[in-house]
Structure 1
């Protein structure tokens, strides 16, 4: 039996000044600033952060049931390609650099990493699955 559900997720983008914006979650109220300029993540970097962050959460939740990591870093990278004056990202790569203590619990956590990274990619990470599967994006001007 297949289980289907649809839950809306929404953010609001507010212009703060030229090339600087604030994204706010309409559910939690959490926000972050982004844009173009010193000290700001660009929208493409936010996309990479969202992909890496989604899988990082999956891996973190599963492994820390066993042990706290000594090191937990994930690098997201990809190539920005421009064809016919249109840009997109391709060949996105996540590199997980995790280290757990040399204890029984730490070794158990470390032993889970490959499986959880694969499960995150194949099943759990909404962000990377959406990017890979594609989603319709509609834009409209509100009067």
Structure 2
């Protein structure tokens, strides 16, 4: 895996590109008009994406097709700490479809406790928690 980064202005706006040519813009969130996500926001996007891929894959193996999957992620950090790592990460996972509560919970548990590489890395500094809403009913 290889990523290239290129500075785009005299401040903190960067363009990153992977080997396939996919582009992600980064910026410092304290800029007046940021032109991309901050690196810490990208970590939260990463855990949302990684766990979502796992959840879909696990349910597909069980021949369950979701109608919709959405995730809200909130990270907490200690103000003024250097480095200012995440100490807590909470994911709210919203699933919609013909799936039992047990299968939904099992897929999320497997993802965040075993398969999601991003979660496994971030759990070294942050307590990772989650809630699951299935068809608009909270199940966890």
Same fold by TM-score greater than 0.5: yes
Of 119, 128, 134, which aligns to 2:110? Answer: 119
Of 24, 31, 37, which aligns to 2:17? Answer: 24
Of 22, 43, 47, which aligns to 2:43? Answer: 47
Question: Which of structure 1's runs of 4+ aligned residues deviate more than 4 A?
Answer: none
Alignment TM-score, normalising by the size of structure 2: 0.72
Whichever of the two has the greater Rg, that structure is: 1
> Runs of 5+ in structure 2 lacking a partner?
126-140
Q: For each residue in 1:113-137, what CA deviation from the matched residue of structure 2 results, as whole angstroms up to 9, or x when unmatched?
A: 2111111112111111012247xxx
- After superposition, the Cα gap between the structure-2 partners of 1:63 and 1:76, relative to the gap in structure 1 and judged at 3 Å, is same
Decide whether the 8 Å contact of 1:10 with 1:25 is kept in 2.
Answer: yes
Match of 2:136 in 1: none
The count of aligned residue pairs is 119
Match of 1:10 in 2: 2
Alignment TM-score, normalising by the size of structure 1: 0.71
**Pairwise CA RMSD of aligned residues?**
2.1
- After superposition, the Cα gap between the structure-2 partners of 1:33 and 1:63, relative to the gap in structure 1 and judged at 3 Å, is same
> Runs of 5+ in structure 1 lacking a partner?
1-8, 101-105, 135-143
Alignment partners' CA distance in 1, 2:43 and 2:93: 17
Shift in Å, 1:83: 4.2
Partner SS, residue 78 of structure 2: strand
Decide whether the 8 Å contact of 2:77 with 2:88 is kept in 1.
Answer: no
